[in-house]
Amino acid sequence: MIIYKFKYLGVNFDQRLNWNEHIDSLISKAGKRIGLLRRLRRFLTSHSANVIYLSMIRPTLEYCSGVWGCCGEVNSNKLETLQRRAGRIVIRTCNSNLAMEALKWEDLKTRRNDNIAKLVKKCIKGHCPQFFKNYFTYNRTVSGRSTRQCNKLHPPSVRTEVAKRSFYYHGCAIFNSNTL
């Protein structure tokens, strides 16, 4: 079977939307930058190393995460491992937990979910491209009743796993679980 894949605006797509190839490409790109940070670390202060991570490496790990944010637990753990490695380099320690606490870095999955929730909120308020303006609806507009769930978004009915990984479905779930 031929698997069709292409790269669009820096995001690798394939016909299954499993994001494995895209995550591997992110890990490769960010890994090279973390290696450079490791080689430069002895000439930098902790603050400078942190600034380099926050400005050059983390944006690579989060670029366009609204599209691929539902990349799965295995891929998410790979990205988190990379961030923990960078934290150990910045703090100069062997303990990842100590580094993450000292730097006060959120885990990448939480940051991705927050970014997706913010993007959904922009779509609801109309601060997005025209295509997304009426993309999401509240339960109150679907049922017309005032219930406990009326202020939550109405999730679409989906039948496939690919549809569950879409921005529309995943964005509703994250927005409904988040309190912004």
The full DSSP string for 62-114 is HTTHHHHS---HHHHHHHHHHHHHHHHHHHT-S-HHHHHHHHTPPPHHHHHHH
179 phi/psi in degrees, rounded to 5: -120, 100
What mean pLDDT value characterizes the chain?
Answer: 88
- For residues 152 and 44, which has the higher predicted lDDT (pLDDT)? 44
Q: Alpha-carbon distance 38 to 88, whole Å?
A: 10
DSSP-assigned letters across all residues of 131-150: GGTTS--BHHHHH-S--TTT
pLDDT value, residue 165: 75
More confident residue, 124 or 99: 99
Paired with 14 in beta bridges are 5
Residue 180 is predicted with a pLDDT of 46
Does residue 179 register a pLDDT over 60? Answer: no
Grouping H, G, I as helix, E, B as strand and the rest as coil, residue 172 is helix
Instruction: Please give the model's pTM, rounded to 2 decimal places.
Output: 0.83
Per-residue pLDDT at 1 exceeds 70: no
pLDDT one-digit tens code per residue, 11-54: 998 887 788 999 999 999 999 999 999 999 999 999 999 999 99
